[in-house]
Amino acid sequence: MPENRTRRLTHGAMMVAIFTVLLAVSTYIPLTSILITWALPLPIAWYSAKYNMSSSVAVTIAGIMLSFIVGGGFLALPVAFMYAVIGLVLGTMLRLKKNKATIFLATSGAILATFAIVYFAFVKILNINIIQQTLDLSMQSFDTSRKMMEASNVPADQLASFEKQLELMEKTATYLVPSLLVFAVLGIAFIILAVNLPLLKRLKLEVPKFKPFRYMQLPRSILWYYFIVLIISLFVRPEEGTYLYVAILNLSSILTMLLALQGLSLIHFFILEKGMPKGVVVIATIIALPFLQFVSLIGLVDLGFNVRGFITGETKK
């Protein structure tokens, strides 16, 4: 028992030290932050995967407090808080031997929850609205584009058309903040797992295997959600600016992006099932990116009619 406790304390002190050093390096050496930031959850995740919840929470709190002292004060505190909690959640999911979908959702939830806490802390304590400042920067770029068009002496009708497009883009950017936040959270969760899970596996931890992207399959209930949103947008037509309008716009964007991923995975599946070179997959993905609306229709058809089964049957013949 004393030996186990000593090992637990020693490992905890080592992981707190590594977490603090990684955070300090990413804070004081900006060029390294792009790479090191994604590995910040690793020490806490490793410890949380090996030891019980109470010990893991204690190490997480110690990592945050020491990072505040050593890693740059209030500047490092939000980053330390977010990544330490993400590491705690990721490691706990591995210790409980949860499947890959649960790990992904739990990591995404941790990112969203910690971001919300940091966001409200910035607003209430420092009077800094991160989201509003990001929108303001976008609006400034729109204003710059508008001034450049005005200075280029374009015809009045073209300028009026451009003004309408910019106004529509400004409104859409404001309305789509929730869905953009969802996409950002899911993207960050994917990158964190893609970086940390292979490293944790090298550290002798058991991690679940994620199937290749070409086997991605959304639940068929997505079809019903898509059709409900489509019916509301076509027949109810909520007034612009209302809560229903914003909700439908964001749901439509999220569902379209999910179906686009489904369609893109089908393209990957078809190319690799036919034995084409992997380079074709890269080229097809690059070509598909500007046509995500069309790719989402491919995903819709695949989800509704199991196109993969047809491709597999045809290949076997």
Flag residues of the chain having pLDDT under 70: 1-3, 71-74, 138-139, 142-143, 145-147, 149-160, 162-163, 166, 313-317
Determine the pLDDT at residue 150: 64
pLDDT digits (tens, 9 = 90+) for 224-256: 888 888 888 888 777 877 888 888 888 888 888
Give the model confidence (pLDDT) of 37-93 as tens digits. Answer: 888 999 999 999 999 999 999 999 998 888 877 765 667 788 889 999 999 999 999
Q: Smallest Cα–Cα separation from 268: which of 278, 259, 260, 258?
A: 278
Spatial distance between the Cα atoms of 202 and 196, rounded to a whole number of angstroms: 10
Per-residue pLDDT at 92? 94
Task: Identify which of 79, 3, 87, 8 has the alpha carbon closest to the alpha carbon of residue 50.
Answer: 8
What pLDDT is recorded for position 232? 86
Q: Which pLDDT belongs to residue 149? A: 65
Q: Give the residue from 138, 121, 127, 16 showing the smallest Cα distance to 66.
A: 16
Structure tokens at 22: 């990684």
What are phi and psi for residue 197, nearest 5 degrees? -60, -45
Residue 156's pLDDT is 64
Q: What pLDDT, on a 0 to 100 scale, did the predictor assign at position 192? A: 92
Q: Where are the beta strands (DSSP E) in the chain?
A: none
Distance of alpha carbon 245 from alpha carbon 223, whole angstroms:
20
pTM value surpassing 0.85: no
